[in-house]
Amino acid sequence: KNEVEQSPQNLTAQEGEFITINCSYSVGISALHWLQQHPGGGIVSLFMLSSGKKKHGRLIATINIQEKHSSLHITASHPRDSAVYICAARTRNYGGSQGNLIFGKGTKLSVKP
């Protein structure tokens, strides 16, 4: 079983729809990252969360530490949101050393006009 699981693997939506992508993890974490990968391959960091909720424009990320679950929401989706969204768990930092990232397999989102 993967330590970081995302669902769904693929998602097709119509422009304007509200979108939710889920991420569950089984390891102890210090933070949870959401990343966006465009078709050309470049990756952009969207959010880093250790608790609660963050919002940036039409993107909202939430995390429930007790349930080991995070969600990424996109409101009023647009074709330019089409990309692969990746969740990554930063392992808990023991002994002062920086934990590394464990990545989910990604969710491929396609928003149709």
Partner 1 sequence: DGGITQSPKYLFRKEGQNVTLSCEQNLNHDAMYWYRQDPGQGLRLIYYSQIVNDFQKGDIAEGYSVSREKKESFPLTVTSAQKNPTAFYLCAAGGIYTQYFGPGTRLTVL
Q: Nearest approach, Cβ of 70 to partner 1 (angstroms)?
A: 15
Contact status: 68 vs partner 1 (CB under 8 A): no
Contact status: 45 vs partner 1 (CB under 8 A): yes
Contact status: 20 vs partner 1 (CB under 8 A): no
Q: How many CA atoms lie within 13 A of 75 on its CB side?
A: 7
Contact status: 105 vs partner 1 (CB under 8 A): yes
Contact status: 27 vs partner 1 (CB under 8 A): no
Beta bridge partners of 51: none
Contact status: 44 vs partner 1 (CB under 8 A): yes
State both tokens at 27. Answer: 């390891």
d(CA 33, CA 70): 9
Question: By three-state DSSP, how is residue 80 classified?
Answer: helix
Q: Nearest approach, Cβ of 79 to partner 1 (angstroms)?
A: 22
